[in-house]
Every structure is written in structure tokens, then in C-alpha cells.
A and B are shown apart, each in its own frame.
Chain A
Amino acid sequence: MDVLNLFQGIGTMFAQPANIAIARIALILLGIFMVYLGKKEILEPLIMIPMGFGMSAVNAGVLFLSATKTGTIFNDPLMSDTAGLMNILQINWLQPIYTFTFSNGLIACLVFMGIGVISDIGNVLRYPFASMLIAMCAELGSVATFPIAHAMGLSYGQAAAVSIIGGADGPMVLYTSLILAKDLFVPITIVAYLYLSLTYGGYPFLIRLLIPKDIRAIVVKTTKKDDITSGEKLAFAVIANTLLCLLFPVAAPLFVSFFLGIAIRESGMTKYIKLIEENFLYGATFFLGLMLGVLCEASTILNPTVLTLLILGMVALLLSGIGGIIGGYIVYFINGKNFNPTIGIAGVSCVPTTAKVAQKEVHNVNKYSFILQFAMGANICGVITTAILTGIYVTMIPLLK
């Protein structure tokens, strides 16, 4: 018996081109390393552990589909014709998840609904101008990366999809790339999630570099005792959702998911809250991570543009971080220096990571400075502004073609 035919995961390595075989081994090792980094909480474990697991498994589990063709029985993201899809749905075990939740953006919307349910918009309503201003400044990367990406050879759609990484919101990147750059959505989404996990480790250095210790230690004095009722929050969710859906119907699924999450939270429907938070959010995040890992098959990921995307993703998040801190400084000067510019980093909408980073950095220099409420306001506004920019991109870019 031919041993390489018996152990096909190994046998296929000899049948494939050398670069694919080497990439497979590298991705298997990378997957295992990602699980380790997730376990150590250096990268976000909720995404990284299933993603790393999927990545190592899909690159190991390659088999001979015919005498000349190799593949897996995990998932085929490139299958588009109806007959082939119906056939493959009965073979590939993750194909139903991909076809029915991934390729139509449903999984992004479920995650977004979960984010809505865990978001308290009280601080957005309490400090709307400062929060929105900071959040818009923190979108610097989402727009400044666009011309850079185009100059590096990406199409407008691809440039917009990679620029949205600057918004630091995974579901938004997934949604934009599915609509505007379907051919690159796998590498763009993977780059986005890899970098989003790194914000927790990278942004503290940016804060320390751009904000002197004495300014970081500022205690924000507030005399405002403004209780926002759940009815007011609910009213805002309904009005904002309706207005944004009116303006950008293409991004309506995202808006509806987020604001519906908020509406359910503020309506106090505990059974729905529990359902969305414990089942939808964690279920969707788990399958998102696993599916992203499975999509990292060597033959799919070996795309010459991946290096460009890695650079652009980094540029987008760096610019957004800098923009957020600039926004923090603007509010600091407008408020007569009664504001902590560190809050600016929370405008980058990686809920609630960047708000926690801001509070932690402030706490390190002054134990009596509590900025979390302002940071959460900017953080939630960051989600809203990223959704707005996503809406503008997905509406505007197809009109340019």
C-alpha cells in the first residue's frame, strides 16, 4: 500500500507545488502559535483560539479529491454556481455556516447585535459633541489609508475595505469587504482580526509616546449630574437607526443589528438580552474565529496582495490611534484643559478594549483619575461613526465604477 495515499495530509504535500507545501507547514505552525498566544491572552482568546485551531487543521487536513485535484472537506469559499453549491453543501462540514451566515454578512450582523446589547449609550447622550468629535478624529485611519491603498495598486473597493480596518471594528471590515472586495475578503478580514487583537498591546505605547505623564494624570472635573433614562436611550436608538437606514440602505443590516441590540437592552427584555448576549454574540464570535481560521488555507491565502494588506492594516490602525489622540487634545483645549486627551484613544471603536486601555494608562500615572465613563462614550460613538463611514463607502464606491 502507498503510505502517502494512506496518510493523505502528508501525501498531498508532495503532490502540491513546493511553495504551497511550505506555506501549509508555516500556517500549521502559525495556527498552533495563535492558540498559544490566545491562551496567554496576548491576543484575544475568543477569536484566536478557534481561529488558530481552524488554521492548523485546514492546512493539515488536505486530501486527494481526485487523481489530480487536492482540497479539504471543510469549506469552499470560491464555489458560486448553484448546482455546485447544492452538491458541496452536503460534503463540506462548514459549508452551511459559510454559505448561510458568512457570505451574506449575517454573522457580522449577529456580532454587531451582541455589541449593541452590551453597549450602554448613556455616555453618548451625556457628552454627544465631545464623543462624536473624538470618534470622528479616530476615523483618520479609515479615510487616510484609502488614497495610500489606491496608490499601492488596490482598486477603490479593495482600498475602502482595507481602510475600514482603521475603524477597528471586525464585523464592519467583514461587511465592507464582502460587499466591495469579495476577492480579497478572506485576507482583509484575517489581517483585521489579527491587528485588532494587537491594539491592547500596541496602543499603550502610542499613548505614552504622544501624551506626557502630567497630562495623562489629569482628573476630569464634572459638575454635570445628568441621568439619562432608558426611555431616552431607546428613543435615540430608534431615531438614529431610522435616519441612518434612510441615508444608507446598503448598510441597513448593520445599523438595524446594532441599534436593535441597544433597543432590546434599554427595553429591559431580559430573555432577549440573555439570548443575544450569551448565544448569538458568543456563538457568532466562535464560528467567526473558526471560519476565519479555516479560510486560511495555503492555496487561498497565498495571494501577493497579502503583504500590502498587512502594511495597510497597520497604517490604518496607527493613523486612527494618532487621530483619536489628536481628537482628545482638541477637546482638551476646547474644554479649557479640563479633559484628559488619553480618552481620545477610546474613539477607536474596539469595544471595550480601547476604553479599558485608556483607563489603564491613566490609572498607571494617577490612581484617582477615572475616565472610563468618557472613554465609553467615545468608544460607542466610534462604533456609530465607523458604521456611518462603512455606509458611505459601500454606497459611494459602486457609484464610482
Chain B
Amino acid sequence: MSESIFIALQVYGLGFVIAMSMAVIIKVMLYLIRHFSKKATKIN
């Protein structure tokens, strides 16, 4: 029983880290896309 609880915690912990990392990736990606598209507009 304790082993299965540990597995569940591992699954949830890993899932949480990946999900929140994706949220960070979204923010960074949006920042980079907007930053570089602004620069491109200025050059044009």
C-alpha cells in the first residue's frame, strides 16, 4: 500500500513539474515571439 502511495505521489509530482514547466515555456515563448516580431517590424 505504502509503495503504491509513493508511486502515485511520484506520478503526481512529475506531472505537476512538467505541467508548470509548460506554463513557463508558454510565457517565455510568447515573450520571445513578440520581442523578435517587434524588432522585425522596426527593421522593415
Check A136–B19 contact: CB distance below 8 A.
yes
Known A-B contacts A146-B4, A156-B4, A243-B25; A132 and B20 likewise in contact (beta carbons under 8 Å) = yes
- Give B6-42 as 1s and 0s: 1 = Cβ < 8 Å from A's Cβ atoms: 0111111011101110110111011001000000000
For window 298-348 of chain A, which residues contact chain B by CB distance below 8 Å?
Answer: none
Check A128–B26 contact: CB distance below 8 A.
yes
Main secondary structure of the interface of B (DSSP, over half): helix
Q: Which of A143, A239, A240, A384 has the most CB of B within 10 A?
A: A143
Known A-B contacts A136-B16, A384-B19; A396 and B10 likewise in contact (beta carbons under 8 Å) = yes
Check A128–B5 contact: CB distance below 8 A.
no
B27 — which chain A residues lie within 8 A by C-beta? Answer: 128
Q: Which of A124, A228, A389, A400 has the most CB of B within 10 A?
A: A389
Check B25–A146 contact: CB distance below 8 A.
no
Partner of B8, one of A125, A146, A384, A400: A146
Check A385–B19 contact: CB distance below 8 A.
yes
Check B7–A236 contact: CB distance below 8 A.
no
Known A-B contacts A235-B29, A239-B29, A392-B14; A132 and B23 likewise in contact (beta carbons under 8 Å) = yes
Known A-B contacts A146-B11, A240-B22; A151 and B29 likewise in contact (beta carbons under 8 Å) = no
Q: Which A-chain residue is minimally distant from B26 (CB atoms)?
A: A128
Check A236–B4 contact: CB distance below 8 A.
no
Known A-B contacts A129-B20, A132-B19, A156-B4; A236 and B11 likewise in contact (beta carbons under 8 Å) = no
A181 — which chain B residues lie within 8 A by C-beta? Answer: none
B23 — which chain A residues lie within 8 A by C-beta? Answer: 128-129, 131-132
Check A389–B11 contact: CB distance below 8 A.
yes
> Within the complex, what minimum Cβ distance (angstroms) separates A15 from chain B?
43
Q: Which A-chain residue is minimally distant from B27 (CB atoms)?
A: A128
Q: Which A-chain residue is minimally distant from B14 (CB atoms)?
A: A392
| Interface: B43 (CB within 8 A) | no
For window 372-396 of chain A, which residues contact chain B by CB distance below 8 Å?
Answer: 381, 384-385, 388-389, 392-393, 396
Check B15–A392 contact: CB distance below 8 A.
yes
B19 — which chain A residues lie within 8 A by C-beta? Answer: 132, 135-136, 381, 384-385, 388
Partner of B33, one of A132, A231, A240, A385: A231
Check A143–B12 contact: CB distance below 8 A.
yes
Check B22–A384 contact: CB distance below 8 A.
yes
**In the bound complex, how far is the Cα of B33 from the Cα of A66, in angstroms?**
68
Known A-B contacts A129-B20, A236-B26; A143 and B8 likewise in contact (beta carbons under 8 Å) = yes
**In the bound complex, how far is the Cα of B11 from the Cα of A360, in angstroms?**
33
Check B12–A139 contact: CB distance below 8 A.
yes
Check B15–A232 contact: CB distance below 8 A.
no
Check A232–B29 contact: CB distance below 8 A.
yes
> Within the complex, what minimum Cβ distance (angstroms) separates A124 from chain B?
7
| Interface: A247 (CB within 8 A) | yes
For window 216-236 of chain A, which residues contact chain B by CB distance below 8 Å?
Answer: 228, 231-232, 235-236
| Interface: A159 (CB within 8 A) | yes
- Give A236-251 as 1s and 0s: 1 = Cβ < 8 Å from B's Cβ atoms: 1001100110010000
A231 — which chain B residues lie within 8 A by C-beta? Answer: 33
Starting from the known contacts A136-B16, A146-B8, A146-B11, 20 additional A-B residue pairs (CB-CB under 8 Å) come to A128-B22, A131-B23, A136-B19, A143-B8, A143-B9, A143-B11, A143-B12, A143-B15, A147-B4, A147-B5, A228-B30, A232-B33, A235-B33, A247-B18, A381-B19, A384-B19, A389-B12, A392-B11, A396-B10, A400-B7
10 sampled A-B residue pairs with Cβ under 8 A: A128-B27, A132-B20, A136-B19, A139-B12, A143-B11, A143-B12, A247-B18, A385-B19, A389-B12, A392-B14
